Structure 1
Amino acid sequence: MATLSITDRAPDATGFASFLGLLGRLLMAAIFLISGIGKVTAPAATMGYIASAGLPLPEIAFLIAILVEIVGGIALVIGYRTRFVAAVLGLFCLATAFTFHAQFSDQNQFIHFFKNVTMAGGFLQIVAFGAGRYSLDARRG
């Protein structure tokens, strides 16, 4: 029985399926790129929000968040080490869901919690099936 590893590639897909894979990566990356750039433009507000959640070392958490969101978003767009990046972004989604959005009595936080959980599910799909034909991963073989 064959096992799937994080470096396995999915079989070649049709042109339309490959386009959908690219579009899916672009849509998944958009929120991270926008959020990361927003953090860069408002560092004090972001670090204050991180501190208000009770996390230690908000400056380091701020830098980690920017690194994950911007570098991860770019890597996802271009399809570079996509399975690994998707795994990191999925874990980031779960961590932020439980850290910042677990106040279920607040409907807005409830929605954000499940948005993050849903995005983590989308990232699991990318981990499972890879970046597709239109990616640097496909060019690397």
Structure 2
Amino acid sequence: MSYSDAIAQRVESLSQSVLINGVTPLAGRVLLAAIFLLSGVSKISDPAGTIGYINMVGLPFPTLSYGAAVVAEIAGSIALILGFQTRIVAFILAVFSVATAMTFHDNLSDLNQFIHFFKNIAMAGGLLQVVAFGAGRYSFDARH
């Protein structure tokens, strides 16, 4: 067996492994969901402050926007962790991340806003990977 055949065989065995197809996608979903879950909980703990911030950036219907953001972050993160309707949920969270970046972190001359903007864009990129490749073995989606 040639060296390249051995490498190809090893890559094939890795792609079939429980770690790659099961644990890694689960860990990725949990890590992606964590920021949404924490953000949603923080919004619940300070509704007046969050609604004021939404109003300050000029979004219409700040109270409705607040409710939609809380639902998207809490329900979306739980669904993502469980791997329930994962591709749809990941797509919605990706769109939410880009919209949030463009609405709340658009002052790219401010280093803090610059970092938050690209954090949101990076999260959207990770979520689009979930859209493309699905939830993995340990998910509700894999059971159906």
Task: Report if TM-score (shorter chain) is over 0.5.
Answer: yes
Match in the other structure for 2:9: none
Match in the other structure for 1:91: 95
Paired residues of 1:79 and 1:134 also in contact (CA < 8 A) = yes
Match in the other structure for 2:133: 129
RMSD: 0.9
CA distance 1:48–1:16, shift in 2 (3 Å)? same
Pick the structure with more helix per residue. 2
Pair 1:60 & 2:69 matched:
no
Paired residues of 1:13 and 1:132 also in contact (CA < 8 A) = no
Task: Pick the aligned partner of 2:17 from 14, 29, 40.
Answer: 14
Question: What are the residue-to-residue correspondences of 1:46-125 with 2, within 5 Å?
Answer: 46-125=50-129
The size of the alignment, in residue pairs, is 129
- SS across alignment from 1:80: coil
Structure 1, unmatched stretches of 5+, are: 1-11
Structure of greater relative contact order (alpha carbons < 8 Å, 6+ residues apart): 1
Paired residues of 1:86 and 1:123 also in contact (CA < 8 A) = yes
Offset of 1:14 from its aligned partner? 2.0
- The aligned amino acid for 2:18 is G
State the alpha-carbon separation in 2 of the partners of residues 30 and 88 from structure 1: 16
- TM normalised by structure 2 equals 0.88
- TM normalised by structure 1 equals 0.90
State the alpha-carbon separation in 2 of the partners of residues 64 and 13 from structure 1: 39
State the alpha-carbon separation in 2 of the partners of residues 14 and 60 from structure 1: 45
Offset of 1:13 from its aligned partner? 4.5
